[in-house]
Structure 1
């Protein structure tokens, strides 16, 4: 039992390190919302796109992480896009809120072979605090330290940068997040100052030969943290089908593992989504396959959204990779 408790504490702590200045990345990006991962996707598409996401981790474990986020991006002119995201996160006694403001520029490398290159940058602001109102006496510590008289809080600013290459249905995104070191004076000895992490996201949208309204999309997402060299990989697959009005539905699955434990997945689970008359809904369930599994019922993620204010661009570099024909 002691080993299980230690493991839970380890996972919660590492998740806290990884998520600060960012929400933890689970499957939100697979809800047809690549902007979650990279600012380079801002402005790709014909609409103002808004997505709201709610994610609850490890349901059944007290004070497990819970967060909400709102994303919006749209194109300005023919080759550029802007985006913004806001988030609220609760993890044990920690609370954080923040925002990202993004800009992307898209270039045509070759019109005939449909090769495009995009560059993006995000400015991040994060407010992090420890909520002492949640502190409770325990058997080992029956009295709360009287020197703790207010919430410990700090604000940080940072930047993300990224590049995206597209060729027909193929896409490859490379990103560096939190490129500046974090101010940790008030938390010295508790938190790492280096929050830099690298992300690679790649996949291919394959159009069915027999049915032009059907697509298959395998993808991979890799993340490496600069502080302690932790890394993980997601292997994903989606099936998407359109109707005559360009509405569509999709189903898929995701498999996440630590890169030094390929045969020991952290999470695995199904996903489903639908677009109807520009309104969007997606649900994802991730089951934790490790020593935490007897103590929780998995991680649940819901995404709702709407696309509106359609404005068709004269430049193909801002066309969505979905339904790329």
Structure 2
């Protein structure tokens, strides 16, 4: 049994190194009322300076499984623009990556009376990827003599269309190819571009209702190897004046394996005053289930009062 666990961990880490995307792992963090961490086009939308801290521990029970921490914040600039930043630290066995991004978004009013808006965004990313060999055991490979590290600057582009309770965000991440072959020139991907779509609808029967349903879909496509994933989400939100509570569920699958989900995750959260808490537990539905008890995602946040904009495009 121990040998099988070691072999499984080795295979998982190997797949991670070969398929490294050089970006923050995107699981269910965006469902914690933090869509900016998924798309820069949401920067500056809202009446608050929004700060969120995420802790993500994957595959609990498996040694050296992926573990990620991130800090994000976005704020409005003037009446029609916003800026934001994300910092993250990610590890998976002896592979480490740290990075951050700075984003700028501008919001346009297409039709004020129908609440129709268009947002455009640009992000600059800087990622440092490192293979730490100091803990390698019985390393007899003379070619591996020191830690391998590299830095990769890149850019993201994002758009967001909103009309009433409907929203549709289209994004391209890592638009530039890498210009180095430092780790493995045969298997290391040079094309890091991935495309993703996030769309949903916030539905209330009446505007003054204190109950809201929000179905949404997240789709991501990786250009290098053609794989793609989809999240199908549903959230139920209850309002108590400025406070709210929510519960929901997300279902993630590879698009060529719809009937075999990667995980199913209940999500819960609340905002009380200026403070926010969110939690998601991902129930793994593939072969790893026999070795892991699941994945935990915790979000803590604070909304600092900024004031209402003079333009409804940032409401």
Task: Report TM bin, short chain.
Answer: over 0.9
Task: Note the 1:1-325 alignment, pairs <5 A.
Answer: 11-16=12-17, 20-137=21-138, 143-187=139-183, 188-209=185-206, 212-244=209-241, 246-319=242-315
Q: Distance in 2 between matches of 1:311 and 1:211?
A: 22
Contact 1:239/1:252 (CA < 8 Å) preserved in 2?
A: yes
Q: Distance in 1 between matches of 2:278 and 2:248?
A: 11
Contact 1:48/1:72 (CA < 8 Å) preserved in 2?
A: yes
Q: For the structure 1 residues 290 and 90, does the alpha-carbon distance in structure 2 shift closer, same or farther, using more than 3 Å as the test?
A: same
What does the per-residue CA deviation read over 1:17-75, in whole Å, with 9 as the maximum and x for residues that have no partner?
Answer: 55532111110000000001111000001111100000011111111100100000000
Q: For the structure 1 residues 17 and 55, does the alpha-carbon distance in structure 2 shift closer, same or farther, using more than 3 Å as the test?
A: farther
Q: For the structure 1 residues 210 and 97, does the alpha-carbon distance in structure 2 shift closer, same or farther, using more than 3 Å as the test?
A: closer
Shifted more, 184-193 versus 77-86: the winner is: 184-193
Secondary structure in 2 matching 1:207: coil
Q: Distance in 2 between matches of 1:40 and 1:18?
A: 26
Q: For the structure 1 residues 61 and 96, does the alpha-carbon distance in structure 2 shift closer, same or farther, using more than 3 Å as the test?
A: same
Q: For the structure 1 residues 174 and 15, does the alpha-carbon distance in structure 2 shift closer, same or farther, using more than 3 Å as the test?
A: farther
Q: Distance in 2 between matches of 1:31 and 1:83?
A: 17
Contact 1:15/1:24 (CA < 8 Å) preserved in 2?
A: no
Task: Give the TM-score taking structure 2 as reference length.
Answer: 0.94
Q: Distance in 2 between matches of 1:213 and 1:58?
A: 36
Contact 2:9/2:63 (CA < 8 Å) preserved in 1?
A: no
Q: Identify unmatched segments of 5+ residues in structure 2.
A: none
Q: Distance in 2 between matches of 1:26 and 1:121?
A: 22
Secondary structure in 1 matching 2:287: coil
Q: For the structure 1 residues 268 and 237, does the alpha-carbon distance in structure 2 shift closer, same or farther, using more than 3 Å as the test?
A: same
What does the per-residue CA deviation read over 1:100-154, in whole Å, with 9 as the maximum and x for residues that have no partner?
Answer: 00000000000111100000110000111100112112xxxxx543553321110
- Cα offset, 1:250, TM superposition: 0.3
Contact 1:184/1:191 (CA < 8 Å) preserved in 2?
A: no
Instruction: Report how many residues are paired.
Output: 313
What does the per-residue CA deviation read over 1:202-221, in whole Å, with 9 as the maximum and x for residues that have no partner?
Answer: 00000134971110000000
Q: CA RMSD in A?
A: 1.9
Q: For the structure 1 residues 201 and 12, does the alpha-carbon distance in structure 2 shift closer, same or farther, using more than 3 Å as the test?
A: farther
Q: Identify unmatched segments of 5+ residues in structure 1.
A: 138-142, 320-325
Secondary structure in 2 matching 1:166: strand
